[in-house]
Structure 1
Amino acid sequence: MKTVTNRTIAAYCLPQFAVGLFTAMLNNYLIYFYQPSRESGLPTLITQGTVILGVLTVVGFVKAIGHVFDAVTDPLVASLSDKSRSPDGRRIPFMKWAAVPFGLSALLIFCVPQSAPGMVNNLWLAVFLWAYYLFYTLYMVPQEALLPEMIPAEGQRVNAYTMRSFFFVTGSAVGYVTPLIVSGLKKAGLPPVWAWRCTFALFTAVGIILLLVPVFTIKEKDYVRSVQPTVSLKESIRHAFANRHFRAVTLGQLLEGTGMSFFQACIMYYVTSLMGLPEEASVAILAVSIAGSLLLYPLINRWAKRRGKRLPILLGCAVFTLAEFAICFSDALPGSPMVMALIFAVFVSFPFAVLNILPHSMMADVIQYDTITTGVNQEGIFSAAKSFITKLGTSLAIMIVPSLTVIGAAAGENIGRLGLKLTAVAGGLFCLGAIIAFLRYNEREVLGVIRAHRAGRKEGN
């Protein structure tokens, strides 16, 4: 087996830039685009209000059904990948065929064919949102399973997840510049809806190119020697959830991911409706928080290697909980709203840095621990479960946020100030729950087994 170089790790991690772009499109702007505020200038393109069972909006309902679909596709793709006997490896072939439709479906979500709300647009949104989930699974579950296989050393793996997170965050940062690009295109004469679509088309073109980089530059068989599982899909899933470390980490990721998704889904509303700032102000706010988090990456990397990952994750969740609760009072604080917003951005830099890197690296530790203790490579199933949990958190936010934001809305408007504050409270409570879940994870045991195994291999050589 060849040694994994930094160049190989960079090629593996580059798709995370594309995922960051697509995640910003869906998490930050999907609700804003399809449940437009008066300030946005966007037309109403899908049916509004809580029209499904009197509780869910169209967006919320579509997301909910999408994740029921995910509950089936994630483990199926994982099992197929784990048991694949392709001469090119178990993971790369899936990534190759999913890359282009993955990117295109992200764009087509925002390209409903009619200019007025109706069933055609509702169905279009549903079809391409569900397609996005499917191709996300076909690409990301095998891709995430590949890293623990390629990199068995814990320290090098932390470095890889740091680089992976760096690309994701920088991709997200470019996605967060969307309001500036949109503003420029609107000033150039494009209608608001087409300004948004053209921006997303540019992101899609860049994203597809990056998704294809590892497909054509990494020869999986050079780095991975796998033992295919022989058990059934049902037994593999049962095996994953029987691991108590896996249960604790996945529950923590579900809760903190949901809290983060509340923030991402509502940031444009917080900026424009609560703070009274223009759309473009969100770019400066997010730029400060991202720059701050990137500056903290080296510190977080060294801290995790020396002291473990659990403590910084707990502190990150605690800080983000306080930040979410503080949003409730953002419209009542004295002084310049922009100054207050920038102070808030600095404050959340730490949880952004920690939660973008360490939960993924912690999960890789759990996967390696399971491989050592069982002798079978089932990274796909674990990655599928983690992927499903991550998307479930986003789905919960997308389901709940539209229903909350309409609370207190004036007649003829889609957004209420009270509802926005309730989204912040809900996000904080989810992060608080994540702290309780991560406290149940026994990191000392997991890392002890990994280090003992590595020491044994060195003695054997």
Structure 2
Amino acid sequence: MKQLKPITNKLLWIFALGQFGWSLLSGVVSNWMVYYYTGTPSEQNPNTGLFASGITQNPIFFKLTLFGLVLACGRIFDAITDPLIAGWSDGANYKGGRRIPFMRAMAVPFALCTIGLFVLPQTSIIAVNDVVLFALLMVFYLFMTMFCTPYNALIAELGDTQQHRINVSTYISFTFIVGQSISFLLPNVAGALEGSFGQAGSIRMSVAIMAAIACIAMLIPAFYINERDYIESKPSETKPFSSLVKTFSNVQFRHFVYSDVIYFFALTLFQTGLAFYETQLMEIEDTWTFVLTATMTFISVCLYPAVNILAKKIGKKQLIIIGFFAYACVFLVTTFCGKGLQWGFIIAVAASIPMAILGILPQACVADVAELTRLETGEDRSGMFFAARTFAFKMGQAIAMVVFTSVTVAQTKGSYRMTAAIAFVTCFIGACIFFTFNEKQILGRIKELKGSEEI
């Protein structure tokens, strides 16, 4: 049997660069597509709805807009492909391993498709633009799934001990929020380039620059890490659908997923509306978005060591519940916020606490459940566990996209406040549901099966 190399924190940090890359691409799309493709320009924020004239804006039926339906369909398509790609990855037996070959193949197409979303749907025919936007978004989510699903499976496989699982979850959480934060720099970068490329061209060039940086970040771990040097992986023989059914038959995993779906529904409502909360409710310029996000990120990162230590001392469950309730309070404050930059900083500081907690610990919970299943069954289906989680929460995100674009179709302050209020109620419900997750039972069983080994 081949002697495996030890997994080190240096290796986990290099692995975490991939998270920075895909979170940057995801952030550009999730944070700015709605902003640039819907809404109305104003004197203070002339780029709002800059590309809106190119696609259908009026509600199709009831209050459902085409753009909201396109985003929802993209998330649903993304969710459906997750278990299929996970089954493919779990059963793969490539020379480079079960996960890394996917990452190497998908990094460049993923980045190029992100650029295309802001460039190609710009013909003179609105119907053509609608179709192009829909097709590109489906391809974008497919490429993202083909990179992220195998990548996420490595969280459990490189997290061979409880210490490593919490550490890698901490590192990828850090790189994730850095990527998301940099995506909020888009208007600032575009402003600096506007003199050379024009109003629309500067935004597209900014997207291209960010996509290039993200692509490099995804390729570094894909080519640096030799998967078979660190992981003794055996292809799973279970078919994707059967594997998905087995995954959801795990009681503790279901308890986790129920709360996770609701949490991501609430968070997606909030994140999608963030630029609007700041520009419409607080009436501040969109260039402040990065400053506020950077403030939130900086404070959140400063809390990472505390979250890492507390998770090992008191357990992940208690901290996650605190994170849920803290986010609920943030959403409530947003619902009633007033005019002025100070409200932006109040929300940024308050959100940093749950951002630190919920950015780190949920992945570690999934890795724990996947590890226990491997020990009990002898079959490693880590890819499917993370895919099942993303399948579930992306359904929540899809519903959130439809709800947000439908509730805010009137583009009034009251409609934006309503989305924050819905996020508050649903996040509070998610916190209550998470009480049913039994972390002690899972870790106790892992320790029992591993004997005296560190878990």
Scaled by the length of structure 2, what TM-score is found? Answer: 0.94
Aligned ranges 1:439-450 → 2 under 5 Å: 439-450=435-446
1:258 aligns with 2:258: no
1:28 aligns with 2:31: yes
- Matching residue within 394, 416, 419 for 1:423: 419
User: Which amino acid letter does the alignment assign opposite residue 450 of structure 1?
Assistant: I
State how far apart, in whole Å, the 1-side matches of 2:79 and 2:251 are: 21
Q: Which moved more, 1:214-223 or 1:174-183?
A: 174-183
After superposition, the C-alpha distances for 1:383-432 in whole angstroms (9 at most, x for unaligned) are 211222233233222221111112xx3xxxxx111110111011112211
Q: Which moved more, 1:232-241 or 1:122-131?
A: 232-241
1:132 aligns with 2:140: yes
State how far apart, in whole Å, the 2-side matches of 1:117 and 1:262 are: 31
Report the CA distance shift for 1:275/1:71 in structure 2 as closer, same or farther (over 3 A).
closer
User: Which amino acid letter does the alignment assign opposite residue 263 of structure 2?
Assistant: E
After superposition, the C-alpha distances for 1:89-126 in whole angstroms (9 at most, x for unaligned) are 11111111111111111121111343656111111111
Deviation of 1:189 (Å): 5.3
User: Which amino acid letter does the alignment assign opposite residue 351 of structure 2?
Assistant: V
Report the CA distance shift for 1:85/1:185 in structure 2 as closer, same or farther (over 3 A).
same
State how far apart, in whole Å, the 1-side matches of 2:292 and 2:217 are: 27
1:12 aligns with 2:34: no
Residue 162 of structure 1 contacts residue 301 of structure 1 at CA under 8 Å; is this kept in 2? yes
User: Which amino acid letter does the alignment assign opposite residue 65 of structure 2?
Assistant: T
1:199 corresponds in structure 2 to 206
Deviation of 1:298 (Å): 0.5
Report the CA distance shift for 1:49/1:150 in structure 2 as closer, same or farther (over 3 A).
same
Residue 27 of structure 1 contacts residue 394 of structure 1 at CA under 8 Å; is this kept in 2? no
1:341 aligns with 2:344: yes
1:45 aligns with 2:78: no
1:84 aligns with 2:92: yes
User: Which amino acid letter does the alignment assign opposite residue 35 of structure 1?
Assistant: T
1:110 aligns with 2:118: yes
2:181 corresponds in structure 1 to 173
Identity of aligned residues (%): 31
User: Which amino acid letter does the alignment assign opposite residue 57 of structure 1?
Assistant: T
Deviation of 1:19 (Å): 1.9
Deviation of 1:72 (Å): 3.5
- Matching residue within 223, 226, 233 for 1:226: 233
Residue 54 of structure 2 contacts residue 121 of structure 2 at CA under 8 Å; is this kept in 1? no
1:412 corresponds in structure 2 to none
Runs of 5+ unmatched residues, structure 1: 410-414
- Matching residue within 403, 418, 429 for 1:433: 429
1:69 corresponds in structure 2 to 77
- State the secondary structure of the residue aligned to 2:294: helix
State how far apart, in whole Å, the 2-side matches of 1:175 and 1:202 are: 11
Report the CA distance shift for 1:95/1:189 in structure 2 as closer, same or farther (over 3 A).
closer
Deviation of 1:206 (Å): 0.6
After superposition, the C-alpha distances for 1:297-342 in whole angstroms (9 at most, x for unaligned) are 100010111111111111111111111111121127xxxx112321
Count the aligned residue pairs: 446
- State the secondary structure of the residue aligned to 1:48: coil
Residue 47 of structure 1 contacts residue 117 of structure 1 at CA under 8 Å; is this kept in 2? no
Aligned ranges 1:171-320 → 2 under 5 Å: 171-186=179-194, 188=195, 190-320=197-327
Scaled by the length of structure 1, what TM-score is found? Answer: 0.93
Q: Which moved more, 1:287-296 or 1:224-233?
A: 224-233
1:377 aligns with 2:380: yes
User: Which amino acid letter does the alignment assign opposite residue 256 of structure 1?
Assistant: Y
1:353 corresponds in structure 2 to 356
Runs of 5+ unmatched residues, structure 2: none
State how far apart, in whole Å, the 1-side matches of 2:320 and 2:181 are: 22
2:107 corresponds in structure 1 to 99
State how far apart, in whole Å, the 2-side matches of 1:230 and 1:30 are: 40
Report the CA distance shift for 1:63/1:113 in structure 2 as closer, same or farther (over 3 A).
closer
State how far apart, in whole Å, the 1-side matches of 2:369 and 2:352 are: 27
Q: Which moved more, 1:167-176 or 1:40-49?
A: 40-49
Deviation of 1:71 (Å): 4.1
2:331 corresponds in structure 1 to 324
2:66 corresponds in structure 1 to 58
Report the CA distance shift for 1:404/1:116 in structure 2 as closer, same or farther (over 3 A).
farther
State how far apart, in whole Å, the 2-side matches of 1:192 and 1:327 are: 30
Residue 73 of structure 2 contacts residue 398 of structure 2 at CA under 8 Å; is this kept in 1? no
- State the secondary structure of the residue aligned to 2:64: coil
- Matching residue within 125, 130, 150 for 1:122: 130
- State the secondary structure of the residue aligned to 2:68: helix
State how far apart, in whole Å, the 2-side matches of 1:151 and 1:320 are: 28
Deviation of 1:183 (Å): 2.3
State how far apart, in whole Å, the 1-side matches of 2:117 and 2:392 are: 22
User: Which amino acid letter does the alignment assign opposite residue 72 of structure 2?
Assistant: A
User: Which amino acid letter does the alignment assign opposite residue 84 of structure 2?
Assistant: L
After superposition, the C-alpha distances for 1:48-89 in whole angstroms (9 at most, x for unaligned) are 0221x3332122211232234234321111111111121211
User: Which amino acid letter does the alignment assign opposite residue 417 of structure 1?
Assistant: K
1:157 corresponds in structure 2 to 165
CA RMSD of aligned residues (A): 1.8
Residue 79 of structure 2 contacts residue 395 of structure 2 at CA under 8 Å; is this kept in 1? no
Residue 63 of structure 1 contacts residue 395 of structure 1 at CA under 8 Å; is this kept in 2? yes
Residue 59 of structure 1 contacts residue 398 of structure 1 at CA under 8 Å; is this kept in 2? no
State how far apart, in whole Å, the 1-side matches of 2:258 and 2:118 are: 31
State how far apart, in whole Å, the 2-side matches of 1:36 and 1:116 are: 20
